Every structure is written in C-alpha cells, then in structure tokens.
Amino acid sequence: MSFKYQTTEWNNKKVILGEGSLNPREPINILIGFHGAGSTPENMLIHGNKLSLDNTFMLLPEGPIDAKEGRWSWWLDGPKQKESVSGFLKFSSSMIATAQDHLNSRFEKLETRVCLWGFSQGGAAALTYTLLGKHPLHKVASVCGFLPEFSEDQTLSELSVPILGIFGTNDDVVPSFLAKHALEEMKNNGHNPTIRETPQGHELNAENLKELCDFFDS
C-alpha cells in the first residue's frame, strides 16, 4: 500500500500524516508512531514508509519535550520524569482525539481502531500509554522499548491489548533485561505480549518491519 504524506500542525506540534486508500466501510486503523529520544518524526517516517498496511491512517507526531537542536523527546529523564510522563499521557490522548476528529470530519459513521508503535524511547512511549492511557487501543508494538518511572497514583488501564515486543541481546542502549522486564510487566498487568528476543543491536531493521506489518495487518 503506497502512502502519501503531508506535514501539518496539531495542538501546536508538528505531525506527519500518511494515508493510502481508505475504505470507510471497514474499520480504519489510526497508527501512531513514536520516534526515539532526541529525534524527529522525519526519522520515524524513514521506517514508517516501509510499512505496507491496509486501511491505515498513519500519524507521526513530534515529541513534546525540546531536546535542543530541532530534536524532541517524550519525557524528561531524571527527577522530573514521573511528572513528565504524566504530561506525555495527556499529550498523546490529545493527539489520538484529534486524529479521530480529523477522520470523523471526513467520513460518516466511521469506526476507528487506535494502534501504537515506537522505537527505543518511542517503544517505551507506546508501552507506557498502553499501561496508563485513557483511550482504548487495538494493537501495540515496541522495538527496543522499556518502561520509565511513573507516578504510583496513575490509574492502570483495565483493557487487555495485544502487544508485539521486539528487543535485541546485543542492544548497548536499552539492555535486553530492561526490555524483557517491561514486556513482562505488561503481561503482569493483563496485557497480551508476544515477546521476540533477537540477536540485533539497538536498531529497527527490515525483519522487524516485516513482523510489524504482519502484526498490524493480521
């Protein structure tokens, strides 16, 4: 499926929107891709453009935290991380609602299904929203993701979500034990992760992208 892309601004943040042929008589997947820390949606587009997905509206937002030099992150590290993660959850809920409004303004009686994916801190973002976010999710994928610190008074989601979690034993940025622990925590909280441990490093490779396509299109 060939996608056409445009860059616009939602909620005072840059977003890249991509879509192919959308059939409103079938559920449309809203696929939100979270870039890594200190990165950009353009970097995520390089990988997202290689996903061949049916009836999908792709959204690649810019993170809310300024990492300087035109790069962005999803939350702060350090002592303010818990507070910053709370801000990320609100930011992401707003993006999801805006995407749904955008499609509902174009199509009547539309059914949408929200899916998330991400790499590195973006994978962590996808897992964190699955655990704590307020919008129901259809499917979620994390490549080299983990879980940040978050406030203990955050309300956990009660809906079980299928998750594809991919991580590498040779990852020198996100150690495999952290990625595996995050996915086990998702399972402990009622979600349904498929855990894929590979020999890869800290990367998003062609094999990962094929697995993502198979996962989201199944």
Q: Nearest 5°: phi and psi at 20? A: -105, -135
Residue type, 12: N
* Amino acid 202: pLDDT: 98
* Amino acid 154: pLDDT: 73
* Amino acid 104: pLDDT: 96
Give the Cα separation of 178 and 69 in Å (integer).
29
* Amino acid 151: pLDDT: 82
Taking alpha carbons only, the member of 32, 50, 42 closest to residue 7 is 42
User: Half-sphere exposure of 211 toward its Cβ, with a 13 Å CA cutoff?
Assistant: 20
Per-residue pLDDT of the chain (218 residues; tens, 9 = 90+): 689 999 999 989 999 999 999 999 999 999 999 999 999 999 999 999 999 999 999 999 999 999 999 999 999 999 999 999 999 999 999 999 999 999 999 999 899 999 999 999 999 999 999 999 999 999 999 999 999 998 877 777 778 999 999 999 999 999 999 999 999 999 999 999 999 999 999 999 999 999 999 999 98
Give the Cα separation of 201 and 176 in Å (integer).
10
- Residue environment code for 124-149, b if the CB has 16+ CB neighbours within 10 A, otherwise e: bbbbbbbbbbebebbbbbbbbbbbbe
Question: Strands, E, within 109-161: which ranges?
Answer: 112-119, 139-143
In the block, tokens 């979600």 appear at 191
What domains are there in the chain, each with its CATH number? 4-217 (3.40.50.1820)
Do 84 and 65 touch, CB atoms closer than 8 A?
yes
* Amino acid 1: pLDDT: 61
* Amino acid 114: pLDDT: 98
pTM of the model: 0.95
